[in-house]
Amino acid sequence: MKSLRLKTIASFINLEDKVVDIGCDHAYLAIYLVENELCQKVIASDINQNALDNAKQNIIKANYQNQIKTYLSDGLTNILETDIDTLVIAGMGTSTILHIVKTAKNYPIKKLIIQSNNDLSNLRKQLRKQKYYLQKERVVYEHGHYYVINVFTKKHTPYSISEILFGKYDSLHKEYYVSLYNELEKINQKLSFKKNIWAKLKIFTKKILLKKYL
């Protein structure tokens, strides 16, 4: 598996974790985990039949049918196993991710490893309401994009406003925070002063908070 993003996700998984990769697509992550003995067994699921067929083919090719079980499922709704404690939800938007996390409410989930494509502050805020607290964060630069990988657990952890807005500081990727700052600056420049005074004030506050990360 070439993807640095998926390898970084894998680095947050421990051998004893009982993992479901929700939205597995080609099952690259599940295969990587088993191949590298990072997990003994993995569940790979997807809502899309074509994606799941691709996953199944790749699993058969790699000969891991005994270690990787597949499910066609919206989140965890069709998954029969109850012995699950870690969810990987990657490559989707925040609203889909929050929907998927809701389907897990009757499972003893200890850890969420999430890579959302958008709206990260809302993701952190909403998950905190569901008592999932951000523990670690890693920024990955791949194919011209920054991907943010968040690890949430049930361990109660206080947040600063900056952490809700911009996440936990990843010292390896200072340029990611510079890119966030530049985005805020661009939005600010598009807003006319008279019409958007409150929006401008909000951006100004965010910029002050973000400056500490730069």
Ligand X SMILES: C[S@@+](CC[C@H](N)C(=O)[O-])C[C@H]1O[C@@H](n2cnc3c(N)ncnc32)[C@H](O)[C@@H]1O
Which residue, 42 or 203, has its beta carbon nearer to ligand X?
Answer: 42
Answer yes or no whether residue 55 interacts with ligand X by CB under 6 A. no
Taking CB under 6 A as the binding criterion, the range among 42-50, 118-126, 152-160, 165-173 that sits at the site for ligand X is: 42-50
Nearer to ligand X, 118 or 182 (CB): 118
- Residue 46 — φ and ψ, nearest 5°? -155, 155
Q: Is 23 left (phi over 0), alpha (psi -120 to 50) or beta?
A: left
Tell me whether residue 58 or residue 163 sits nearer to ligand X (CB atom).
Answer: 58
Angle, in degrees to the nearest 10, between helices 197-211 and 174-190? 160
Which tokens in the block code for residue 80? 């029969």
Q: Which is nearer to ligand X, 25 or 163 (CB)?
A: 25
Distance CA 61, CA 140 (A): 29
167 counts as binding ligand X under rule CB under 6 A: no
Give the nearest distance from C-beta 59 to ligand X in angstroms.
15
Identify which of residues 45 and 94 has a Cβ nearer to ligand X in the complex.
45
**According to the binding rule CB under 6 A, does residue 57 interact with ligand X?**
no
Q: Which segment (43-51, 60-68, 121-129, 181-189) binds ligand X by CB under 6 A?
A: 43-51
Nearest to 24 by CA among 5, 43, 10: 43
Q: Give just the sign of the alpha carbon dihedral 154, 111, 142, 120.
A: negative
Helix (H, G, I), strand (E, B) or coil at 30: helix
Q: Which of 8, 13, 17, 23 binds ligand X (CB under 6 A)?
A: 23
Is residue 33 near ligand X by the rule CB under 6 A? no
Instruction: List the one residue out of 49, 116, 41, 126 whose CA is nearest residue 84.
Output: 41
Question: 89-108 mask for ligand X (x: CB under 6 A)?
Answer: -xxx---x---x--------
State residue 3 phi and psi, 5-degree precision.
-65, 120
| Position 51 contacts ligand X (CB under 6 A) | yes
Question: Applying CB under 6 A, which residues contact ligand X?
Answer: 22-23, 25, 45-48, 51, 74-75, 90-92, 96, 100
